Amino acid sequence: MVIGLTMMASSACRSGTPGPGAVPAVMAPAPPDIRRLRDTVGLILDAGVRDSAFPGAFAVIGTRDQVLVERAAGQLDWASSPAPNDSTLWDLASLTKVTALTTAMMQLWERGLVDLDAPVPRYLPRFQGPLKERVTVRQLLTHSSGLPGWRPLYLEGSSPDSMLELVYATPLDTMPGATMVYSDLGAILLGQIVVRLTGQPLDEYAAERIFRPLGMRDTRFRPSRELWDRVAPTEVDTAWRGRQMRGEVHDENAFALGGVSSHAGLFGSGRDMARFARMLLGGGELDGARIVAPETIDTFTTRQDSTLSNRALGWEKPNGQNSAGHRLSERAFGHTGFTGTSIWVDPELNLFIVLLTNRVNPTRARTGIFRVRVDLADAVVAVLRHHTFPPRPRP
């Protein structure tokens, strides 16, 4: 099954019976079907607001060629505030790992600057300690390095440099390659590899090589104060910062690192994330801007070791228990963010699903987002399941 839109001027469907083994080709979903999709997405998001899963949400559903549906629900804050729209800025949290970090790693791998199976100390000599010489770049990308998932760097370090020294010095919990533990520390190390190999801070590199070429005008680290009215507020931090976070990254470690980190810190809009997803479905190209090669996307979105985890390189794969739901194909890949964000891209179905929320508002204790993500993914595929269109040949 391939979900998609044709770009034909005529509104008439092609007729005829496909031959044996042929993929049936039909026109784009008719307006009633698009309305059904929009209504279905709206029902799910509105239910999430009613259930207090989040104060506001914005979903974008589309294909390689265009956006099918945009749907907003709720408002930016629980207090009286505007409704979200396609230019609302959301704290993307761990979507930073795929939007900025993994894309940068793809580009460096393409250019032959990084060897995925090289030991990490080749690029980061300060990463020293028992068994660390066995940790590879690939293991950092698949969260199988043996590093713990997290530590309170923001409480332990006195500056960004001292926090990075703590990351380098953190001992392994397990043998490299033995198990999968989702690790922000590993993502921080990968970001330092990008900085070392490019000679640029991650925010500058990503803006120059990813966001500006793609026309992602809203996506940035540390949004300026004049943009804060467009930002969906996140948690009321009573434990450390003593205020509600708005325009400043929610993640404490990313905040203490100066707001720019490879594990969190990026802010972006629904319209920008749709462009990013369309680029991935387009084999790394959008509107004439080539970001990565199709083969690079295939390499980084292939499941690495099914006996160990559901991880590709930087990306997550469907496993029947995560936010991908139960209907996306094996070729799908995606990621989630702690603040309530997610992206799933399915090349086989020619489909992307972006969901942006501020579910940590006013507290991270709210967990209703997990059900919403699954319901949304399953419902979108269910509504569009009868629409097929053969995928275009890659350029």
Q: Transcribe 257-274 into DSSP letters.
A: TTS--SSS-EEE-HHHHH
Could you read off the pLDDT tens digit of each residue along the chain, which spans 395 residues? Answer: 444 433 322 223 333 333 333 222 223 566 778 999 999 999 999 999 999 999 999 999 999 999 999 999 999 999 999 999 999 999 999 999 999 999 999 999 999 999 999 999 999 999 999 999 999 999 999 999 999 999 999 999 999 999 999 999 999 999 999 999 999 999 999 999 999 999 999 999 999 999 999 999 999 999 999 999 999 999 999 999 999 999 999 999 999 999 999 999 999 999 999 999 999 999 999 999 999 999 999 999 999 988 888 899 999 999 999 999 999 999 999 999 999 999 999 999 999 999 999 999 999 999 999 999 999 999 999 999 866 544 444 44
Question: Does the residue 8 lie in any domain?
Answer: no
pLDDT value of residue 309: 86
pLDDT value of residue 4: 44
Name the 3-class secondary structure at 316: strand
pTM: 0.92
How many folded domains does the chain comprise?
A: 1
Question: Does the residue 23 lie in any domain?
Answer: no
Question: Does the residue 85 lie in any domain?
Answer: yes
Q: Are 223 and 247 in contact (CB under 8 A)?
A: yes
CA distances from 349 to 27, 41, 173, 207, 313 (A): 15, 18, 39, 29, 21
Name the 3-class secondary structure at 169: helix
pLDDT value of residue 387: 62
Q: How many helices (H) and strands (E) would you count in the chain? A: 12, 12
| Tokens standing for residue 330 | 């094996």
Question: Does the residue 151 lie in any domain?
Answer: yes
Name the 3-class secondary structure at 341: strand
- 222 C-beta neighbours (distance < 10 Å), count: 15
Q: Transcribe 49-77 into DSSP letters.
A: HHTTS-SEEEEEEE-SS-EEEEEEEE-SS
Question: Does the residue 346 lie in any domain?
Answer: yes
Range of the domain at 224: 31-384
Q: Specify the CATH number for the domain of residue 131.
A: 3.40.710.10
Burial of 105 (0-12, 13-18, 19+ CB in 10 A): buried
Question: Does the residue 391 lie in any domain?
Answer: no
| Tokens standing for residue 169 | 């010095």
Question: Does the residue 24 lie in any domain?
Answer: no
Question: Does the residue 192 lie in any domain?
Answer: yes
pLDDT value of residue 9: 28
